Structure 1
Amino acid sequence: MNLTFRLFLGLGLCLSAQAFAAPLTFDENAFREDVKTLASDPFGGRAPLSEGEQKTLDYLTQAFKSMGLKGAFNGEYLQPVPMAKITADQSMVLKVGELSFTPGEDFTARTQRVVPRVELSGSDMVFVGYGINAPEYGWNDYAGVEVRGKTVVLLVNDPGFATQDPRVFKGNAMTYYGRWTYKYEEAARQGAEAVFIVHEDAPAAYGWGVVKNSNTNTKFTLVDDNNNQSQVGVMGWLQYAAAKQILAASGQDIEALKAAAMAPGFKAVPLTVKADLTLNNHIERAESHNVAAILPGNKNADEAVVMHAHWDHLGQIEEEGKTIILNGAVDNATGVAGVLALARHYAALPEDKKPGRSIIFSAFTAEETGLIGAQYFAENPPLPTAKLVAFLNIDGMNVGEGVDYILRYGEGVSELEAMLQDAAKAQGRQVKPDPRPQNGLMFRSDHFALAKEGVPGLLFMSLGDTDPDYIAHKYHKGADDYSPDWPLGGVKQDLVLMEHILSRLANGNDWPKWLEASDFKKRRAKDGR
């Protein structure tokens, strides 16, 4: 039985059972044209606040208009996202005692404070293990140490990954405490002035090249009423070799400190060396934009399911005197093309087949720089978050052949997992757990910003499971380009699966619940869900 026939047979069985609308017909030419255009050199890598952003906004707006869909923001397609564009001068030098380190090669440093300069001058340094304060796990790396105004050095990921002990945090599966975003947030709460995270490939889940490309060019941030002064002054990373030198200069062995940091009750270690760094910033204030269209429901229009993919990528970088465009074809032009494919499907349905609930088709800005567009949307949604049923998020599609499985990110998190299981079963596929739970993908894409507001989500991501070469040589690199040789069998089957779940949510009365105790569950409960 060929793949296409199996997919539509499985879908047909499911549709008849659920009384869904007509099956999705995949328009391969339209999908290819969307990806090819969005990932083309003229779009410049789709960096926020660039010419590439305007090209992207125009393309998506016109696409939604051509489908007859209305703008989701009171009739407008664009939601302004006020941001600061901060570019750190890469001529900086990090000095620690008698040691000097080169930006990009040994360390990275940036800030989200909207100030022209951040300066470390004779800054006291402290090694704080994993930099975690987690009462529910009985863990506090900051206990008994004062880091206010100081520079902290800490490890990436969490002790569960380090020990591989399922009784420690969540074992191999990263918790939010392992994410670099949390490390900076907690250090700010502790009053630290600067943070340097020690990079290692395995616990970080990516090589130094990703850190370098993501942190040595222009970054973006939302701006609070105090120009983000409550955040740490320096957000940095250290190559393992550089961190080893710094700790050795204080008479400390990095491997011995790593071993000690794995155990509960670890005590932070003040270092004898001091840090000096001048971070000069070029700052521009501007508005980026989220894009969203809405298909109004014909029964419960005030309730909505969100189908989403982030539109941005990393723009351009300079390497060895050459300009390299990071086109982000798989990550995430394919995701945006997938959203457009689903939007075309639903927009083309006759009125009596339109779903009962509304569907919002969205593409946010600045995911790659910290879920900024998603955070702004979550705090300023077109409908109250209590009215958002679920958030389905595509962050990279399988452009290869179809496979007999779908990946599940997280386990025992929400009832959406059961819906994923049902949709996969209808296609004769199995649900497989995330093969790299240590990477913390649950916390690295736009659905997480909505989860913080209580909206459950599903992540659909295929970046390395079907192409082992992708993470090593294409992810966040110049090689992530469109190819006319992509088979797209995986795209077809996954869009059919997503349509199954989307239709079930949009045509039913389900309010998927959070399963495990979490801040997300508590937040949803406040909305009466």
Structure 2
Amino acid sequence: MRTLSGVLCGVLLAAASSSYAQEHPRDGAIHDVDTKAWWHTTEALSNDGMEGRDTGSEAYLRAAAYVVKRFEAAGLKPAGESGGYLQNVPLHQVEIDAKTAWIVVNEGEKSSNTFRLRFLEDITAAVNEATPVDTTGDLVFRGYCGKDALGADVAGKVVVCFGTKREGLPSGAERARNVQGAGGVAIVNVDDPYFSIEPPRWPFAYARSVTIHEAGTAPREGRGGKPFVSFTLSAEAFTKMLAGSGQDAAAILKAGGAKQPLPSFDLTGRSLSAHLEKHAKEISSPNVIGLLEGSDPALKDEVLVIAAHLDGYGYGEPVKGDNLYNGTLDDAAYVALVIQYADDVKAGRLPKPKRSVLVCAFTGEEKGLLGSNYFVAHPTIDFSKIVADINLDQLRPLFPLHILTAPGVDITTLGATARAVGKPMGIEIRDDMEPERGLLRRADNFPFLNKGVPAIGFIFGYDAGTDAEKRYREWYQVRYHRPQDDLTQPMDFDAATKFDTFFYKLVGTVADGARPEMVKK
């Protein structure tokens, strides 16, 4: 793979030469000069020439090269490794070959009723170094797969579980531990079609895992290094799996969605066999980091981090004929916003902050917050000087902005600061009303919180039953981690302008005001 320096010294960036980026087809819908500039950068980062910026890909390197050029133009000082803007993140990638993968359900030697599950369409698998190539076992269903539902009789079998995300029931990690601890060779987590706050979506883009690979360490093997595989199965495929068994799949799904008791039963005579060829390789993918030096001699040694993630999904399984996952709102638009902030400070449109501001474009967020975790573990500046982190992700300007959700808003004093900034703008700051989604743990501010650094992120919020909720839900159903998250999707650019203004004011307030503090863990 080419290095980033090779990309920088090579041909012009695809984004810069893209006719789409030059034409700016949505300018007529944007009523604010700053927002228009922000959107132009978003176009450059998420047009088709950037190929979705998958972690470690050459397309990601092109995007990182573009961000480096913009950081330089904005006057940010290099704050990566070796006097540059980049912090290399060493990674290990394992991927299941979707072309050769096959998974079948067999009803026994005397039955011709054998059917194949479509990999990535009906079923997918978590993958790591210990994932076996071949797995086979009789099928049993054990409800929510709590410890009390699993006995010695599941040893050597493929255990099907209702894949609930509801509080008070076994989590996905708990289910897998329980099944493997009881001797199961695989777990099949069935989608909860009633989890409407973030409904299941098929197909999956690919079956791939990427982990941080520290020098001198072996790649992470997963659960104890023992052969074991975790599958996820669509509700529709579960119904097919149970057909003719005497079990009512629809009733089981409905009861599971309502947290009601579930039966345990064996699918007598039915087995599952899987063949999953894996490809592993070492890759690397850089964080891009620049420093805007503060203006106050007494405060400039303290640092506020503002960050977004540069990576996306890249190419994956087609959805409605499109296999390029552009990642426009997730999260190219908000890498564009931290760039726009730096541009505005340099141009004098925003005041220079008293504290220094570290501007970060993290890698590998979509693969498990890899870039932010690596930075927190291997900071390129004195970590003790970091006073706070404001993260930009999960933002969807699809409807007028009146509410912002801030998961864990009261964990730090940043929540009170955000409320003070938002109130005169007519923006209410709320805590997460849907904690079962675990959104706080899914964004790059979480590693900072784990290290005791006050951190905050935001989501466009809504009241139940409103048109705003309808648009938000539609986005998660149709566009989240989908090729349809692209430059043509519906947008409320006035709402984007309002959020951008809120962000600029919040950054200025935190950079110039009292040092943020943790309130509770």
Question: Which TM-score applies when normalising by structure 2?
Answer: 0.75
Contact 2:306-2:358 at 8 Å conserved across structures = yes
Task: Report matched runs for 1:131-170 at 5 Å.
Answer: 151-160=158-167
2:221 equivalent to 1:212: no
SS in structure 1 at match of 2:303: strand
1:48-67 correspondence runs (5 A): 48-67=55-74
Distance in 2 between residues matched to 1:256 and 1:485, nearest whole Å: 37
The answer as to 2:507 corresponding to 1:512 is no
Match of 2:212 in 1: 222
Give the Cα separation in 2 of the matches to 1:383 and 1:181. Answer: 35
Counterpart for residue 6 of structure 1 = none
**What amino acid does structure 1 have at the position aligned with 2:494?**
G
Which of 91, 114, 121 is the matching residue for 1:105? 121
Q: Which residue of 2 aligns with 1:358?
A: 356
Alignment of 1:74-473 (within 5 A): 74=81, 75-90=83-98, 91-98=100-107, 99-100=114-115, 101-113=117-129, 118-122=133-137, 127=142, 129=144, 151-160=158-167, 194-203=186-195, 205-209=197-201, 211-214=202-205, 216=206, 218-223=208-213, 225-231=217-223, 233-244=228-239, 246=241, 255=251, 259=255, 274-297=271-294, 298-319=297-318, 324-348=323-347, 354-383=352-381, 385-399=383-397, 402-410=400-408, 412-434=410-432, 436-462=434-460, 465=469, 467-468=471-472, 469-473=474-478
* Cα pair 2:399 2:495 within 8 Å, conserved: yes
- Counterpart in the other structure of 1:494: 499
1:472 and 1:321 map into 2 onto residues whose CA distance is 14
How far, CA to CA, are the matches of 2:179 and 2:302 in structure 1? Answer: 38
CA deviation profile, 1:156-202 (whole Å, cap 9, x unmatched):
44443xxxxxxx58xxxxxxx75x57866887788875443221344
Q: Distance in 2 between matches of 1:296 and 1:149?
A: 60
**Secondary structure of the equivalent of 1:502?**
helix
C-alpha spacing 1:394/1:434, structure 2 compared with 1 (3 Å): same
Equivalent pair of 2:454/2:516 in contact (CA under 8 Å): no
Structure 1: gaps (5+ residues):
1-24, 132-139, 161-167, 170-176, 516-520, 522-529
Distance 2:209 2:439 in 1: 21
> 1:230: Cα distance to partner?
3.1
Aligned equivalents of 1:87, 1:281: Cα separation in 2? 5
1:32 aligns with 2:48: no
Alpha-carbon distance change, 82 to 422 in structure 1, aligned in 2, over 3 angstroms: same
TM-superposed CA distance for 1:245, in Å, is 5.1
1:316, CA displacement in angstroms? Answer: 1.7
1:212 corresponds to which letter in structure 2? P
- How many residue pairs get aligned? The number is 465
Q: Distance in 2 between matches of 1:201 and 1:257?
A: 7
Q: What value does the CA root-mean-square deviation take over the aligned residues?
A: 3.9
**Which AA in structure 2 matches 1:118?**
V
Q: Contact (CA 8 Å) 1:408, 1:431: kept in 2 or not?
A: yes
TM-score (norm: length of structure 1): 0.74
Per the alignment, do residues 320 and 72 of structure 1 end up closer, same or farther by CA in structure 2, a change over 3 Å counting?
A: closer
8 Å Cα contact 2:150/2:178 also seen in 1:
no
Structure 1 residue 485: Cα displacement: 8.4
Q: For residue 7 of structure 1, what is the aligned residue in structure 2?
A: none
What amino acid maps onto 1:238 in structure 2? Answer: L
Q: Kindly indicate whether the alpha-carbon contact (under 8 Å) linking 1:153 and 1:196 is maintained by their aligned counterparts in 2.
A: yes
Gaps of 5+ in 2: 1-31, 108-113, 462-467
Counterparts in 2 of 1:418 and 1:190: CA distance versus 1, 3 Å: farther
Secondary structure of the 1:288 match is strand
